A and B are shown apart, each in its own frame.
Chain A
């Protein structure tokens, strides 16, 4: 699928926040790439660093913490790019949508103003053309009678409609990459399905890459081609969705898959990964998952596994990965 050069290449991204003199390594050595038109899923539980990864790509984390590593956008490193230059990329070439459609729109400005604001910043369109483009965008994301709704305020829209407005704003400048941070978590399943369909069809149509952050493995299965599973700030397993979800190799991915109540007899005990994720303040020396892992050996406690390729496009960070045939059965 990714026969051409990737548009975004993240390598060894690390983001560290500092709180009360303690270092909190939120993201550690994260590397991945996204091709044109590719939809990459980033999954993990709360606190695994998936949102911080997205924010770090766009330079939104560097005011609050230390960001190191490389973020190459069309060959150019944007991680170290000064804010003024980055502004031409952020919002124009790379756009982002957030989880909370309720709080990420300005309640005091009409939807039309918020849409045209982006166009004013990133395009050369004149006032009338901006308005036309705004109507076109609202129409495109499936908001009925778009022209008359331009003058309305966010509170006059429902949650699903607000998320559509967010998408319209993000896509107004025709970005080449969309960063979507849990875009459907606050929505009902029926609306979630509509929004995901919309993102997919727009990605396809505009040949836009998408990084979709979510905690729902079902959403990943239904929308993404490739997936990276994160745990305690690191990517622990990466590969094509069909392979990773179909035959997970990292014990954490296996645990996550098994705790979803699908294809288990009803009212029986669900599998749950014992214990809780480690706190970022006190990450163990070895593998962060070791204390919860059934495949743990001495080595896991003292050394940290690196994310190594086990096949061409499949990478796992584990010394004792779950056997391939066994994983298929689970």
Chain B
């Protein structure tokens, strides 16, 4: 049933900051940003995996690693059993076609000088999807698929609203018949009513085309709505991963609990029910020792300061990385 499309193992990525003069004087190497640390997860055929976390936690970095925009220093990503960072695999452009990324900002992700028709046919041409004479028909089909009018093909991006532009971005990704879509904050820039339209379209297309989606977003309500499973990331580590409904209704990790309760509810009676986190996300330049969450955690003990908790399965509750998860729940 859970046929894995992509397996990510122990992924680690550091961005070196370059040695400053101060570093030279101190005779020490340049500092590094620990963007991802030991991230392992599996993406199953036809599912939506939501990824949530605060800004700077590494969720977009993870998305970018998957489409090979970044090359991690540690760990592997296997796509149908093939290591995507292996020298041979890197020459294989079909991976770029099969795994498509969609971006947050509908204003900068489309070339302002190309018409929608040109944008879509470029994708078809680059990947040799259709012979030249069939391209216009396919463009028409794609516009239909994302419910844009046919005359959209001759228009430039500035003639469209934000929601329509995201539809064009979706059409462009689907042009090359991908298996996996990486949606990095796809609807974050849109108003709620437009957001709903784009999300509905995405869910419908997923069903129709059996797409696998990695849905990165900071809007927790939205992630809950679209995802089958959800991963919560904190400072480059997965702290909890599991079935979306279970995770949202009964989160196990203290960080997930605080994060999920911080999303403002529509019900005024929920006032004051939220768990308030003290302080902010520590800088990834200086990740705390032990459990990265211990500095903000109400339940932290000596053990948490010393040792990094492993991500371990809990009975029917997904996987959780917390030393004290059993006592707390």
Residues of A within 8 A of B (CB): 45-46, 158-161, 188-194, 196-197, 215-219, 221-222, 241-242, 245-246, 255-257, 259-264, 266-267, 269-273, 276
Contact = CB atoms under 8 A, between A and B. Distances in A.
Interface stretch (B2-10, B92-100, B271-279, B315-323): B271-279
Nearest to A219: B264
A260 B264 contact: no
A261 B221 contact: yes
A256 B197 CA distance: 12
A217 B266 contact: yes
A82 B257 CA distance: 52
B225 interface: yes
Interface string B259-283: 1001111111011001011001100
A178 to B, nearest CB: 19
B193 interface: yes
Given A190-B54, A191-B280, A222 B200 contact: no
Contacts of B196: 259, 261, 270-272
B44 to A, nearest CB: 15
25 contacts: A45-B191, A45-B192, A45-B193, A161-B280, A189-B259, A190-B54, A190-B258, A190-B277, A191-B280, A193-B262, A217-B266, A221-B264, A221-B268, A245-B266, A245-B268, A255-B193, A257-B266, A260-B221, A261-B221, A264-B225, A266-B225, A267-B203, A269-B203, A272-B194, A276-B163
A85 to B, nearest CB: 38
A262 B196 CA distance: 12
A160 B266 contact: no
A46 B263 contact: no
A8 B157 CA distance: 43
B304 interface: no
Interface in B194-216: 194-197, 199-200, 203-204
A256 B193 contact: yes
Interface string B220-264: 111011111000000000000000110000000000001100111
Contacts of B258: 190
B267 to A, nearest CB: 6
A222 B271 contact: yes
B220 to A, nearest CB: 7
Contacts of A269: 200, 203-204
B239 to A, nearest CB: 14
Contacts, number: 115
B264 A216 contact: yes
A189 B220 contact: yes
Contacts of B163: 276
A156 B251 CA distance: 34
A158 B266 contact: no
Nearest to B225: A261
Interface centre among B48, B244, B277 (most CB of A within 10 A): B277
B218 interface: yes
Given A221-B266, A242-B268, A272 B276 contact: no
Complex A-B, nearest 5 residue pairs according to Cβ-Cβ distance, in ascending order = A218-B264, A272-B196, A261-B225, A45-B191, A270-B196
Contacts of A46: 191
A219 B224 CA distance: 18
A267 B226 contact: yes
B266 A260 contact: yes
Contacts of A266: 224-227, 244-245
A246 B267 CA distance: 8
B20 interface: no
A219 B195 CA distance: 18
Contact of B191 (A192, A215, A222): A215
Nearest to A161: B280
Contacts of A159: 55
Contacts of A194: 276-277
Contacts of A242: 268
A222 B55 CA distance: 22
B273 to A, nearest CB: 10
Given A194-B276, A269-B200, A270-B200, A189 B263 contact: yes
B309 to A, nearest CB: 20
Interface centre among A188, A196, A245, A264 (most CB of B within 10 A): A188
B161 interface: yes
Contacts of B264: 189, 192-193, 196, 216, 218-219, 221-222
Interface string B166-203: 00000000000000000000000001111111011001
Contacts of B55: 159, 188
B266 A193 contact: no
Interface centre among A193, A255, A264 (most CB of B within 10 A): A193
A262 B219 CA distance: 12
Contacts of A263: 266
A221 B221 contact: no
Contact of B193 (A191, A222, A259): A259
Contacts of A158: 280
A220 B258 CA distance: 20
Contacts of B280: 158, 160-161, 190-191
Nearest to A265: B225
A310 to B, nearest CB: 20
Contact of B195 (A191, A196, A259, A262): A259
Contacts of A259: 192-193, 195-196
A281 to B, nearest CB: 15
A196 B265 CA distance: 14
Given A221-B267, A222-B265, A266-B225, 17 more contacts: A46-B191, A158-B280, A161-B280, A189-B54, A189-B262, A193-B262, A215-B191, A218-B263, A242-B268, A255-B193, A256-B192, A261-B224, A266-B224, A267-B225, A269-B204, A270-B196, A272-B200
A221 B224 contact: no
Contact of B225 (A219, A255, A270): A270
